[in-house]
Amino acid sequence: MTTHDATHPKITEIASLADHYPGVVIILDEQANRVRYMSPTGLRKLGVTVPELTALGPGYYERYFNLEHAHDYVPKVVELLERNDLSYAVTFFQQVRTGAGGTFEWYLSTARILTQDAAGHPELIICFACPIDPETHITPKVRRLLDENNFLRRHHQQFARLTPREREVLRLLALGHSAPEIAGQLFISAQTAETHRRNIRQKLGAESVFELGEFARAFDLI
């Protein structure tokens, strides 16, 4: 298999050692839209060559990634490019079609700008993707993060229906406060607090404090 684009010396330098790393090294173009290099480990998992990946352009993501997670990692990559800081990195979970029969497997990925052009703009983006075995190699904390990520994707539209005030009330409900306590903290009447509580439960389809807590944790309210 062709393993790298030899037109850039930095790619050649990294390619000489990349397959010794305990994960997959990917180098992307300046907009992170096109694969310029992937280490042999990754190519073997996908069953492709670098020219084939390069030819896909942005279609690389559609073919190999679970796009339901795009709302999580795309803003982080955009921020990475906008900051244009060689010392800044972003980290995110992704599901990639590397399993048997093209099934999704979890990866923890870290990306940063590798090189800048003569004008100081991003030139190459490097990404390191480490496979995760959810059944045997995930700590309870990481498992919780993955579960919350899945919950967030499933319930994003429901949460978006909440007003800013309802989100404040949701946070306090998830922390175990009663309607009168919430009224005192937010300087509203107990009746208004109870109305917010009722509307929140209806919009989210949640009845218990535990269910409300799931929303609050997944959407970073607590």
pLDDT by position in tens, the chain (length 222): 455 555 789 999 999 888 888 899 999 999 999 999 999 999 999 999 999 999 999 999 999 998 877 877 888 999 999 999 999 999 988 889 998 888 888 898 999 999 999 999 999 999 999 988 766 555 666 666 667 777 777 777 888 899 999 999 999 998 889 889 999 999 999 899 999 999 999 999 887 888 888 888 888 888
Distances in whole angstroms, Cα of residue 191 to Cα of each of 110, 183, 195, 198, 209: 48, 8, 6, 11, 19
Identify the structural domains of the chain with CATH numbers, from first to last.
Answer: 9-132 (3.30.450.20), 140-218 (3.40.50.2300)
pLDDT given for residue 135 in this prediction: 62
The whole-number pLDDT of residue 143 equals 66
Q: For residue 219, what are the CA distances in angstroms to 121, 150, 153, 215?
A: 33, 11, 10, 6
Q: Which residues contact 105 (CB under 8 A, 6 or more apart)?
A: 95, 96, 97, 98, 99, 131, 132
Whole-number pLDDT of residue 6: 54
d(CA 92, CA 129): 10
Residue 208, C-beta contacts closer than 8 angstroms, at least 6 positions apart = none
Rg (CA), the chain: 22
Distance, in Å, from the CA atom of 196 to the CA atom of 185, rounded to the nearest integer, reads 14
Give the 3-state secondary structure of residue 8.
coil
**170/156 Cα distance (integer angstroms):** 15
Residue with tokens 């559609």: 62
Residues in a beta bridge with 4: 37
Task: Locate the DSSP E strands across the chain.
Answer: 24-28, 35-38, 89-97, 104-116, 122-132
> What is the largest distance, in Å, between two alpha-carbon atoms of the chain?
69
Closest CA to 116 of 30, 28, 25: 30
Residue located via tokens 């937010």 = 186
Q: Enter the pTM of the model.
A: 0.64
On whether the CB atoms of residues 42 and 72 are closer than 8 A, the answer is no
**Helices 164-174 and 190-204 meet at what angle, rounded to 10?**
90
Number of residues assigned to the chain: 222
Rounded-to-integer distance, Cα 13 and Cα 202, Å: 57
